[in-house]
């Protein structure tokens, strides 16, 4: 079983008495027998892709012939970190089937098949099996290399390091690393409609670098690492960082538009945007066909699963969808400059146009999102808390308080402040507030009405010098406890 970033299994076998040409033909016939899709062929070997199954997103199998040996490598194309032995199984199946096929062809047949295959070979200068530089994934040889910028993998580690550094700073300043409270997230730059719309537009970007706990950070950084390794070598530094920031901005604006009172933070909106860019590229000829099919399937499943998982509470699916759709649009917009990679003017012009269009559109949406009267609401709620505190002072009076004093306290203070609270809530109901706040106000009115009823019953019990109202008071107190639980979000 292999473990790591894109788990792989590598094995070397001897050609024995076979010529490189004959070995190549038998190896190709073996791959066809195993139902592998062959996507690249040269005189030095080929690249094939296994079928997707319940246990695998598909693997890429490279077979390179050199110095009377064949180098076999099976590598996962999906985002999994464990292959459960699938890569080793692919190589074992290939060797076993190859040995069975060795004597199935006459030398003349092998020569004829080789001559028929030669027109399909890529030119020597385009033979990726002969290229010395390792792929971007192969450069990640150890845990520390994940954080080190290199050719084709430059912006991704910088983004990973920045996200981790901000998380560490938050932890040093006392923010809970498992479940940060709302106040801490807002202080550090989370996206929250009441404050973001109150002139703090910069939260649309800063929230893309915050995370709600260490597990949230680790999951997002793994997803960023995986898509960065696949995508950044194709896009280059400029297009990649532009895609991250622009899709992150769209994701934040989408979240802001969709949610009234949700605190949003995390890189996932921007990461979904990068997956959207890659999905767009996978529908074009920029990536070799067989590799395209394998990657398209695995990434589509990854995106689909995460979107469905986002239907659960506590996940900002609006940001995910906004990032994904904007990523697809940006991906298709990049196609002309990717096809003309030497045209720097076209590359920078497209990035500039996209930036202007997305920033302008986001600004337009930002300015037209409903701005609720949260400032006035918060001020009135502080008054309500003060009224409630004074109204409840009757329960803090000493046990030896006379009935006369207790009755006066209830009539002149408790009842007065509960009635003032009811007036306050009715006034607050006239403010422009989201439906969730209006629902809360209804519960507060119910709460105040029940408090008034208990005060009336306490007054009657004192005036009549009786315990006859005890059961009614107890029943109302139970109703008050139920309303309080609902206000706290408890069932």
**What pLDDT, on a 0 to 100 scale, did the predictor assign at position 132?**
46
Domain at 148-368, CATH from 1.20.1050.140, 3.40.50.720, 1.10.10.10, 1.20.1540.10 = 1.20.1540.10
pLDDT tens-digit readout, 9-68: 899 999 988 999 999 999 999 999 999 988 889 999 999 998 876 556 688 899 999 999
Note the pLDDT of residue 133: 45
**Residue 137 in tokens:** 């994934």
Q: How far apart are CA 284 and CA 288, in angstroms?
A: 9
Give, to the nearest 10 degrees, the angle between helix 20-33 and helix 86-101: 120
| Angle formed at CA 312 by CA 485 and CA 76, multiple of 5 degrees | 150
The whole-number pLDDT of residue 211 equals: 97
233, two tokens: 């070598």
Q: Which of 216, 290, 320, 333 is catalytic?
A: 320
**CA 58 to mean position of chain CA atoms:** 23
**What is the pLDDT, as a whole number, of residue 258?**
93
Bridge partners, 41 (sequence order) = 46
H or E, element range at 280: helix 268-282
Q: How many CA atoms lie within 13 A of 145 on its CB side?
A: 13
Q: In 310-395, which residue ranges form alpha helices assigned H by DSSP?
A: 317-339, 344-368, 374-391
* pLDDT for the residue 289: 73
User: Beta strand pairing status for 45-49 and 59-66?
Assistant: antiparallel
CA max distance for the chain:
118
Domain boundaries, the chain: 8-132, 148-368, 374-487
**Superfamily covering domain 8-132:** Kinase associated domain 1, KA1 (3.30.310.80)
Full DSSP string of 69-105: EEEEEEEE-SS-SB-TTHHHHHHHHHHHHHHHHTTSS
pLDDT of residue 3: 46
pLDDT averages per 10-residue partition of the chain, 491 residues: 67 92 95 91 92 72 93 83 85 94 91 93 82 54 83 95 98 97 96 93 98 96 93 96 98 95 95 97 84 80 86 86 98 95 94 98 94 89 96 93 94 96 96 92 97 96 93 96 90 59
Question: To 5 degrees, how large is the angle CA 28–CA 32–CA 36?
Answer: 105
Write down the pTM of the prediction.
Answer: 0.75
Q: Catalytic annotation on 268?
A: yes
pLDDT at position 139 is 56
Q: What is the pLDDT of residue 39?
A: 83
216 is catalytic: no
Report the C-alpha gap between 386 and 454 in whole angstroms.
20
Say which of 74, 79, 268, 421 is annotated catalytic.
268
């Amino acid at each position: 079983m292999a473990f790591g970033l894109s788990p792989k299994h590598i094995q070397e076998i001897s050609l024995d008495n076979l010529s490189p040409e004959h070995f190549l033909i038998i190896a190709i016939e073996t791959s066809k027998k195993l139902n592998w899709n062959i996507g690249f062929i040269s005189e030095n070997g080929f690249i094939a892709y296994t079928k997707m199954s319940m246990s695998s997103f598909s693997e890429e199998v490279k077979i390179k012939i050199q110095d009377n040996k064949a180098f076999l490598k099976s590598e996962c194309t999906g985002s999994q970190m464990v292959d459960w032995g699938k890569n080793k199984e692919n190589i074992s199946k290939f060797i076993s089937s190859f040995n069975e096929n060795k004597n199935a062809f006459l030398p003349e047949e092998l020569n004829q098949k080789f001559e028929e295959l030669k027109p399909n070979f890529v030119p020597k200068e385009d033979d990726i099996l002969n290229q010395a530089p390792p792929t971007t994934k192969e450069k990640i040889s150890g845990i520390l290399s994940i954080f080190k910028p290199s050719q084709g993998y430059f912006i991704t580690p910088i983004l990973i390091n920045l996200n981790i550094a901000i998380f560490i700073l938050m932890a040093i300043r006392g923010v809970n690393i498992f479940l940060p409270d709302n106040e801490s997230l807002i202080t550090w730059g989370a996206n929250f409609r009441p404050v973001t719309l109150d002139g703090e537009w910069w939260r649309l970007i800063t929230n893309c670098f915050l995370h709600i706990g260490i597990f949230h950070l680790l999951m997002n950084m793994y997803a960023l690492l995986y898509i960065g390794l696949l995508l950044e070598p194709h896009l280059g530094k400029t297009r990649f960082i532009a895609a991250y920031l622009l899709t992150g901005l769209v994701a934040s604006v989408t979240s802001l538009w969709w949610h009234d009172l949700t605190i949003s933070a995390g890189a996932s909106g921007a990461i979904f945007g990068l997956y959207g860019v890659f999905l767009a590229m996978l529908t074009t000829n920029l990536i070799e066909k067989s590799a395209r099919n394998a990657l398209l399937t695995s990434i589509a499943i990854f995106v689909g699963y995460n979107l469905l998982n986002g239907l659960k509470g506590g996940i900002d699916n609006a940001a995910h969808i906004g990032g994904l759709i904007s990523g697809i649009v940006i991906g298709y917009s990049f196609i002309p400059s990717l096809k003309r990679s030497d045209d720097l003017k076209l590359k920078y012009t497209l990035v500039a146009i996209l930036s202007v269009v997305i920033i302008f559109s986001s600004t337009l949406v930002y300015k037209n999102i409903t701005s609720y009267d949260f400032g006035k609401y918060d001020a009135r709620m502080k008054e309500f808390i003060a009224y409630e505190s004074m109204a409840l002072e009757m329960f803090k009076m000493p046990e030896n308080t006379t009935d006369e004093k207790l009755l006066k306290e209830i009539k002149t203070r408790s009842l007065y402040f509960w009635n003032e609270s009811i007036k306050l809530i009715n006034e607050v109901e006239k403010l422009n507030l989201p439906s969730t706040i209006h629902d809360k106000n209804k519960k507060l009115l119910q709460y105040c009405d029940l408090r008034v009823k208990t005060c009336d019953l306490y007054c009657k019990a004192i005036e009549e010098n009786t315990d006859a109202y005890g059961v009614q008071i107890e029943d109302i107190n139970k109703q008050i406890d139920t309303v309080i639980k609902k206000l706290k979000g408890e069932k």
